[in-house]
Amino acid sequence: MTTDQTLPTDQYVRRVRRVIGISQRQLARYAGVSERTVARIERGQAVPSLPVFSRLLCAAGYEVIVVDADGRFVEPMQNLPDDVRDRQGRRFPAHLDVVLDPEPGEWWGDLAGLARPPETFRRDPADRERRRERYVRDQRLYRRAPGYGLI
pTM for this entry: 0.52
* Cβ(82)–Cβ(56) below 8 Å: no
For the 9-59 domain, the top CATH level (class) is: mainly alpha
Cα torsion 39, 43, 47, 53 to 10°: value is 50
Across the chain, mean pLDDT equals: 78
Q: How confident is the model at residue 28 (pLDDT cuts 50, 70, 90)?
A: very high
User: What sections of 22-100 are H helices per DSSP?
Assistant: 24-31, 35-42, 50-59
pLDDT tens, position by position, 105-131: 666 677 777 776 666 666 667 776 777
Say how many C-beta atoms besides its own lie within 10 A of residue 97's C-beta: 13
Position 48 pLDDT exceeds 70:
yes
> Domain segments of the chain: what residues?
9-59, 83-151
Q: How confident is the model at residue 70 (pLDDT cuts 50, 70, 90)?
A: confident
Q: Which amino acid is at 140?
A: R
